[in-house]
């Protein structure tokens, strides 16, 4: 009996010691930068943060609202977040140190996964009689939150039509202007419904909650970007892709609408541990149905296209997972 008691005490001591070591292991915090609550990044990022917290040992992940793409890559560069959603065009500009990042290249960025097409949606109300991008001249237009990819898309598309901004962020040398309001998706939806603005740019997966909100109570219209315009845009900015918003994507939108899109992606930092990024990537793809359920655009997130069009180097941890799975 004494020998049995000593054996039990020894086992208990080992168990207590193991528990103490486990509890002493530092918890790894993973902050996920998303976008506004009325976009697509936030519901997908929230689902991803819950998944990583539940399935990756030692990880506490949190989704946070932000100004989206441009703001997100700066947060990564400063080390304030570990993973971020962003548009592929913005990530490319940041890594190469061009466009809005010409004075501060974001060299810490590494790719994690390509996700889904993000469609440029120029939304107005039917009674405004805005039928083309050219018709936006002289109007009051929401161009996206400051630091967002939407704002960059709006500026590039307007510039193609020789339209600039007035007030605080004027594009000089262009013959026509819009009165630009720098609003989140939710703010743009509210102000369009209330008649404060005439139109809004929103870059997000279709359907977008903010656009659905407008369509629920107003006679919505989506301004087309015809293929000939899309071709001119691609000559300057090759990351745009011609797409069509399917009919009935929104209430009252009976016809297909041609426009352009970029691609949403997950970005991380070069200095994150390879094993951590490997586990995050592995858990994402082995539980991708969680994203499929979180938002309609999540159904476009597929392992087969996880590396397609990746504009920057992959993180070593993500690359290890894709090589194991044979994903090219």
Q: Which residue has the tokens 């399917």?
A: 246
Measured in degrees and rounded to the nearest 5, phi and psi for residue 46 equal -65, -45
**Do 251 and 278 fall into the same domain?**
no
**Structural domain total, the chain:** 2
User: What's the pTM?
Assistant: 0.79
Helix (H) or strand (E) holding 303: none
Q: Are residues 127 and 201 in the same domain?
A: yes
Do 126 and 221 fall into the same domain? Answer: yes
CATH of the domain at 302: 3.40.190.10
Is residue 256 domain-shared with residue 275, that is, in the same domain? no
| DSSP code at position 247 | T
First to last CA, the chain: 62
Q: What's the pLDDT tens digit per position in 259-273?
A: 999 999 999 999 999
Same domain, 182 and 134: yes
Contact 198, 139 (CB under 8 A): yes
Same structural domain, 38 and 93: yes
| Boundaries of domain holding 304 | 27-115+264-325
- Shared-domain flag, residues 295 and 210: no
Whether the Cβ atoms of residue 90 and residue 70 lie closer than 8 Å to each other: yes
Is 19 a member of any domain?
A: no
Do residues 247 and 129 both lie within one domain? yes
Question: Do residues 95 and 162 share a domain?
Answer: no
Q: Do 145 and 246 sit in the same domain of this protein?
A: yes
Whether the pLDDT of residue 9 is over 90: the answer is no
- Is residue 8, in this structure, part of any structural domain at all? no
> Does any domain span residue 2?
no
pLDDT one-digit tens code per residue, 55-87: 999 999 999 999 899 999 999 999 999 999 999
């Amino acid at each position: 009996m004494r020998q049995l008691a000593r054996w039990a005490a020894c086992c208990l001591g080992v168990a207590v010691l193991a528990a103490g070591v486990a509890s002493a292991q530092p918890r790894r915090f993973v902050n996920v930068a998303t976008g506004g609550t009325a976009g697509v990044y936030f519901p997908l990022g929230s689902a991803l943060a819950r998944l990583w917290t539940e399935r990756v040992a030692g990880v506490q992940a949190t989704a946070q609202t932000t100004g989206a793409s441009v703001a997100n890559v700066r947060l990564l560069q400063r080390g304030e977040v570990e993973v971020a959603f962003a548009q592929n065009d913005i990530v490319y500009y940041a890594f190469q140190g061009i466009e809005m990042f010409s004075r501060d290249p974001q060299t810490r960025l590494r790719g994690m996964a390509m996700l889904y097409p993000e469609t440029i949606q120029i939304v107005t109300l039917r009674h405004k009689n805005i039928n083309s991008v050219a018709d936006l001249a002289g109007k009051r237009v929401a161009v996206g939150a400051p630091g967002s990819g939407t704002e960059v898309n709006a500026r590039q598309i307007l510039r193609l039509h020789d339209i600039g901004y007035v007030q605080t962020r004027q594009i000089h040398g262009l013959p026509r202007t819009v009165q630009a309001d720098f609003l989140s998706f939710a703010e743009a939806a509210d102000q369009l419904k209330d008649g404060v603005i005439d139109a809004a740019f929103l870059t997000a997966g279709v359907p977008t909650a903010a656009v659905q909100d407008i369509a629920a109570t107003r006679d919505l219209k989506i301004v087309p970007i015809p293929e000939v315009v899309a071709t001119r845009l691609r000559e300057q900015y090759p990351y745009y892709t011609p797409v069509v918003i399917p009919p009935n994507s929104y209430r009252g939108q009976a016809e297909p609408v041609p426009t352009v899109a970029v691609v949403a992606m997950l970005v991380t930092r070069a200095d994150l541990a390879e094993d951590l990024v490997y586990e995050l990537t592995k858990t994402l793809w082995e539980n991708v149905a969680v994203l499929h359920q979180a938002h309609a655009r999540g159904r476009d997130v597929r392992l087969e296209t996880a590396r397609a069009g990746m504009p920057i180097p992959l993180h070593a941890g993500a690359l290890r997972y894709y090589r194991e799975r044979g994903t090219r």
